[in-house]
Amino acid sequence: MYQIDDHTLREVLDDRSAAEHRVRVLTQAPHTDDLRAVGERVSLLRILGRLEEAEELGRRAVELTTEDGRPRLAASLRLAHVLQWLERFHEADELFTRALTEAAALRDDALLAFAHQHYGKSLFDQKRFAEAEHHFGAALELRERVGAPADQARSSRQALTAARRALQ
């Protein structure tokens, strides 16, 4: 559905109309209050550049998760990613930092890797390349340790390469 741009580390859609169609499908029952569907919609709206909608839905997703733990943390990370794209870095980084602490407390290395990866992308957008490199490296190490899917490890390697290139 998308590729990651080597220079911006942002998703670039392969087929915008397919993404728009998927968003429409996810706005219909039974998907409207399904947390996974809402999360997918937040991500697609962000990638489509519909950032205000993504933020509003992202906040709703956090509210939909009535208990702490993995679902709420994943929703918070998606919201932080939207705030990053809105260049509201202070808010985004606050959520990313909290997510790192919470994922570590949950002993959820897969989620911790996700938090490192996306915090790194926020730092990368802020041109804080050394810090981004650190987080991408941590994400890659965790992903390799837990046997994450190949595309996730590849994404961390790609981000690490971009941060190192930016430091030169």
pLDDT tens-digit series, residues 115-160:
999 999 999 999 999 999 999 999 999 999 999 999 999 999 999 9
Look at the chain and report how many structural domains it folds into. 1
Give me the domain span that covers residue 156. Answer: 2-167
1, with CB counted inside 10 A (0-12, 13-18, 19+), is exposed
Please indicate, yes or no, whether the overall pTM of this predicted structure exceeds 0.85.
Answer: yes
pLDDT band at 99 (very low <50, low <70, confident <90, very high): very high
- Quote the CA–CA distance of 52 and 54 in Å, as a whole number: 5
CATH number of residue 97's parent domain: 1.25.40.10
- Token pair 């930016």 is at which residue? 166
- Quote the CA–CA distance of 119 and 33 in Å, as a whole number: 27
pLDDT tens-digit series, residues 31-79:
777 888 999 999 999 999 999 999 999 999 998 887 778 999 999 999 9
Q: Which tokens is 73 given? A: 């943390």
pLDDT of residue 69: 87
